[in-house]
Structure 1
């Protein structure tokens, strides 16, 4: 079984009947968060994307064409994983001229976009772009989608890429 399927199945098993998961975040804050996934993307939908998808991200879309993870049921937040159509809509927003090989695949945390590219750099292809759409200040996070998904699940929805710890 693939890493994507293993992590998604383990996450879904922990959800209550309302799709909620109790999580502990920074400063001991404990709250129930919503997790919901859409139905699979069709082959026809996937063909709309004008670039070759990384295999792991394509697998996710074939399982779930987007969804919500670690979203507060009343106040929002968390991450919205885009559908194929939403990827294309966000890519086409006037005034936000993404580099040719950049596609926003998720949105969350006060304007943070998760960006997929069509090129591997080291161990990954994902970038995080904060509010303001400044392509100069983007953050390459050096991982694949399956690694990001696993880590955001383990980190209970927090922005683990900003923790800034140093491993000696």
Structure 2
């Protein structure tokens, strides 16, 4: 079984009857968040894409044509996984014509930020995180593919794991 399919099936087993998942977030805050997955994309949907998507992302679309993960029913937020039509719609918004030609938003959330797929690969990675209002030179290369991103955001319970610093141990002089 593929990593995407295993990740999603395992997550779905943890959801309650209302598709809610109890998570512990920063500062010890506990809440129930929605995990909503759309039905699969059709071949017609996939044919609309103006670029060749990576195989792991295509597999996600074939399982779920977008969705909404880690959304607070009371406060919103979370990460909206875009459908093909939404990808094309976001790409066509005035002002976004400045995107590099090979950049496509595939998720939106966390106060107006975008998860970007590009054909620019470094190792297995091809994802960028684009903060609202930043120019392209300040965007963060995540160094991972979509299946790793999905697995990591689920393990991090919806937190922006890519912003976590690494703890640097103190220097000891004995």
| Fold equivalence (TM over 0.5) | yes
How far off is 1:129 after superposition? 0.2
> Which residues of structure 2 form unaligned runs of 5+?
170-174
How far off is 1:109 after superposition? 0.6
Deviates more, 1:63-72 or 1:113-122: 113-122
The aligned runs of 1:20-99 (5 Å cut-off) are: 20-96=20-96, 97-99=98-100
Alpha-carbon distance in 2 for matches of 1:134, 1:93: 16
How far off is 1:119 after superposition? 2.9
Change (3 A) 1:129 1:21: same
Q: Corresponding residue for 1:142?
A: 143
> Which residues of structure 1 form unaligned runs of 5+?
none
Residues 23-63 of structure 1: CA deviation (Å, up to 9, x unaligned): 00111000000000000000111010111010000000000
How far off is 1:136 after superposition? 1.6
Secondary structure of the corresponding residue to residue 143 of structure 1:
coil
How far off is 1:123 after superposition? 2.6
Q: Corresponding residue for 2:113?
A: 112
Deviates more, 1:141-150 or 1:90-99: 90-99
How far off is 1:87 after superposition? 0.3
Does residue 156 of structure 2 align to residue 155 of structure 1?
A: yes
Greater C-alpha Rg: 2
How far off is 1:165 after superposition? 1.1
Alpha-carbon distance in 2 for matches of 1:167, 1:125: 27
Residues 120-152 of structure 1: CA deviation (Å, up to 9, x unaligned): 212300000001142121000000000000000
Deviates more, 1:148-157 or 1:126-135: 126-135
Q: CA RMSD in A?
A: 1.2
Alpha-carbon distance in 2 for matches of 1:18, 1:41: 23
Alpha-carbon distance in 2 for matches of 1:57, 1:166: 32
